[in-house]
Amino acid sequence: MKQRIPIQRRIRAGKDFATVLPALLFLGLFVYYPVVQVVRISFTNWNLINDNYSYVGLKNWVWLFQGSGTKYLINSFKVTALFTLGELSITIIGGMIFAVILNRITTSFSVMRALIFLPKYIAMSSAAVVFIWILNTQNGILNFLLAQFGKAPVNWLGDKNRALFSILMLTGWRTVGYGMMIYIAAMRGISKNYYEAASIDGATKWQQFTQITIPILSPTTLFLFVTTFISAMKVFQSVDVMTAGGPYRSTEVIVYMIYKYAMEDFRMDRASTIAVVFFLVLLAITAATMKISNKRVNYDA
């Protein structure tokens, strides 16, 4: 009797473990193992053109940090940072403005909100080809509309000072509705009492907005900031479809740089090195944002 219980318990634990085993095996094989591999490849001279490879020590790392790769890495981080900043501003500021405009509980407003949120679900590649057509220099509708105000045609995607901005238009179109939905959900949770008390004290609508709404929404803003930050760092699709990193590397974000070295130049060694750097940066950002948000949560509680 005494021995049967542990055995039964062990069988039960084994069966419970079996339910998580498939997931763990897959994550091990297709997520964790490749991370180890990508670090390993960064110390080799692996390219897909030769069959063999050998370990070359820090050669790729020297290339990336003290060689001809350095300026491209710096460029890519700069472009990615600019893009991230742009997407953050559109999602947070634009989302907040849209939320204020669309926060009303009627059927027509909920239909409008759904339509504004819809672009989030449109495949990036489809949205990108639509924007390429809208931004077309000769026949694009945007340049046509601008011409009505006497503006000369703008080369939206071919001008190195504008291309990133054009990509941000597309990105912003897809994410601003997301920011709006998140803000509206949070605004609904704010007690009416705050506003009533404030208006009795004679606070204007604007004062109420800046002194009640925005501070109360700061955890929501932080949430949007963190999630948007991480996803913006990983941008690839819009760049790949709209500009392919050009013109003159002006839109070559970090993931596009990795992709180009790996899939176009077949330099798996160099691409892996950049990928490892990118991974470390992502981890650092995640850790930093987690620390900030933990502090914030405690502070509020």
Partner 1 sequence: MMHNIDERQQALLLNEKSIKKRKISTGIQYTLAILVTIFMLFPLYWMLISSVKSQEEILRALPTFWPHEWHFENYKNVLQRANFSKYYYNTVVMTAGILISQVVTGVLAAYGFSKGKFKAQKFLFLLVLGALMIPLQVTFIPLYIMFANWKLTDTFLGLILPEMVSPYFIFMMRQAFLTVDDSYIEAAKLDGMGRLGIITKVLVPMCKSTLITITLVTFTNGWNSYFWPKIIAKNEVRRVLTVGLVHLRNTFAGLDTMNNHEIMAGAVLSILPVIILFFIFQKYMLTGYEKTAMK
Q: How far is residue 39 from each of residues 42, 110, 135, 271, measured CA to CA in Å?
A: 5, 49, 40, 11
State the nearest-atom distance from the C-beta of 294 to partner 1, in Å: 14
Per rule CB under 8 A, is residue 289 in the interface with partner 1?
A: no
Find the part of the chain contacting partner 1 (CB under 8 A) among 13-21, 73-81, 210-218, 293-301. Answer: 13-21
33 is an interface residue for partner 1 by CB under 8 A = yes
Interface residues for partner 1 in 246-265 (CB under 8 A)?
255, 258, 262-263
Q: Answer yes or no whether residue 16 interacts with partner 1 by CB under 8 A.
A: yes
Radius of gyration of the chain (CA): 25
CA 117 to each of CA 58, 107, 170, 174, 299: distance values in angstroms, whole numbers, following the listed order: 47, 15, 14, 8, 32
Q: How far is the CB of 212 from partner 1 (least distance, A)?
A: 18
Q: Residue 232, interface with partner 1 (CB under 8 A)?
A: no
Confirm or reject binding of residue 55 to partner 1 (CB under 8 A): no
Nearer to partner 1, 167 or 255 (CB): 255
Q: Up-side HSE of residue 45: CA atoms within 13 Å toward CB?
A: 9
Distance between CA atoms of 162 and 156, rounded to whole angstroms? Answer: 6
Please answer whether residues 153 and 147 qualify as being in contact, where contact means their C-beta atoms are separated by less than 8 angstroms: yes
133 binds partner 1 per the rule CB under 8 A: yes
Hey, which residues between 174 and 213 contact partner 1 (CB under 8 A)? 176-178, 181-182, 185-186
Among 58, 114, 214, 288, binds partner 1 (CB under 8 A): 114
